[in-house]
Structure 1
Amino acid sequence: MARDDALSQAMLRILERVTGPNTRSRGRWSVTEQLQSNGTELFRGVTGVAPNVPGYWIEVTERIMDDLDYTSEKKLKGVVLLLRDEANLWWLTVKESTQADCLSWEFFKSVVQGEYVGASYIDGRRREFLNLTQRDRSVAEYEAKFLRLSHYGRGMVASKYERCARFKDSLRDNLKVLIAPQKKLELFVLVEKAKITEEVKHAEHQNRDRERGRNKRDSEPSNSVQRLKKKVRTDGSVRAGSPVAPTGLHLCRDCGRHHQGECLSRTRACLRCGSPEHHIRDCPLRDDQVQALGSGTAQLQRVVRQPPRGYHQSRGGNGMG
């Protein structure tokens, strides 16, 4: 038992050495150090800076102090400690000419906006808030911009219900219709509902894409088979089917062949070459010679009308016998 107590005491001493310095260090931090360690910046005035810098600085600083749970009194103290040079001299002048009970965080913001933030800038941010919609932003991105711009539209969202209603109405339609309206609803609860709904819709979209891709892959083999069958059918009809007549030729009822013009069987000419000087059985041309010369009858006649030398002598007549 004593041994366990000694071990516990040793562990406590180790923990004190590890955590003690950090705890004391955090306790000694000034407000300025705490703010700057969380991302706030010093403000020196408007000399040499863009016109929107003062408004942006006050927005960011207030957001950080809200995250740190600063009271209004501590916010005023902290933000004054961030002023330097021109801005610090300006605040000293304002402070001297203002009653002490009027010095507050809201007063500071109003005089900063009046001195450094132009009316056109404030009106622009108010219009931006009025026209703000989610569009292609995520819910988290839309929430951040909504909260930042809502400072310029306090009259439009004075109550919690108005803030929630405006946030919901500016969501995308596919999210808005899935969030049931409620009279009593905190903004952070509405934001969480919107984020969950967004995740569900995103998952459904991914599932549809995967299913569509799977169906496409499953259908590709059958399409390939159909294309192959169609090709085989087309090739087979050319090879094994009836001979296809050349363009412009018709089937002759007299000879059963395809040709143009009057049938040679009626003129008693050669059905192979078209010559009137002999019949097909006495034609000096073979089938392959006729094909090589071409299918035009007039061309064949010009070739055949000059028969080989001595042909008539060998037949002893004109070859019509």
Structure 2
Amino acid sequence: MFLLLQQMMETQRAQAEASQRQSEASHRQIEMLRQSMENSHQLALAAVERVAPGTVQGPTGQQPYQQQSRPGTILDFRKMSSRDFTGTEGILYAYDWLEDVQRSMELAELPRALWVSAAASRFFDIALTWYRTDPRASVRGLTWENFRRLFKEKFFPDVALTALEGQFVGLVQGNSSVDEYAAEFFRLSRFAPDMIQDEGQKARKFRRGLIHAVRTRTSGRRDATFDQILMDVQIAEKDFGLKPKRSEDTMGASSSAGPAKRPHIQQQQQRPFQQQPLLHIQQAPARAHQHQGQGQRQAIQCAFCKKMGHTREDCRMKQGVCLFCGAPDHQVKNCAARAARPAGQDGVQQARGGQQGRAFAMTVEPTQAVVEQIADDSEADCSTYYGLESDGVALDRGLIVEPLDFVLPE
């Protein structure tokens, strides 16, 4: 009897376990079916939304279905932006860092209320000390616009940006290769957008900074674009070996070849991207018949074109007016005042031979000889129209003087 009861209990237990397993399998099948139906429903909604955006409606009385996205976090931002800032990297790094941080926060879809905290999470050293100690920067609830303004005032103020603009104005190839010059051109061009408003201005500014040997390879393509000129000079540099020699290479070759024939001539070290004048021009003492105050005007240097005799506010190149008369309705090649000027009033005196150590004085008004030579040149700039007045120097009307890539002997 006992054995019979035990067998019946085992049979019932086995049936219960089988029923439970079958129930679990049924539940799994139901869940899979529900998930499949939900996925099909979402795909159908997405297909309808692509065909007719805004027409997919939710249940009666509710707004249309919208795809819900998770807001970004500071961790998401740090995954996208790996650049730290210490405050010692320099103006250009600070400028690029701020733009990179804002772009990373936008891509991470970080809430705008967290932007200041996210940017400050990349601060170290001097930058972190500034953020913690400046009461304007550490105030609670600081907006991103005010943070940008304070950051610029601290790490790249307007005077620094003006200096970078001046570097672009005076940028020349110098001892650099074409690729190095082009890289520096791109790096500084963003600080002087007025000078490269179109492709033509950009190409002319780049061409003027090339060394003479390279620039002559593009003389027949006045209407070429920037990319075309860059390709031409890169090919010319490679095929004709026009890359300028480094100062240290020149000096090393001279030392290996023995003493120079003229020991008083020295090769000066030149930094890349730095404009080097062909001649050292000094201001001559004011003569008795010169107008009073001219010496003070000659000591003024324009912050835009880096030429003497006028300020940035008076710079005709910056204003885009006629370089001869200052009128805004025409350019110098169409200037009626220049065409009507009597011959012989060019302000250039005849040369007197046999003089050494001549000193030059910069004049505010352009000389007629220079204006007549380059009035029709589409690449004329403001600096071309500030002539030289001297006691014993004459400008040759048949030549266009251009800076060379070497120093002339004394």
TM range (shorter): 0.3 to 0.5
Structure with the bigger RCO (C-alpha within 8 Å, sep 6+) is 2
Q: Which structure has the bigger radius of gyration?
A: 1
Q: Which protein is richer in helix relative to its size? A: 1
Structure 1 length normalisation: TM-score?
0.37
TM-score (norm 2): 0.30
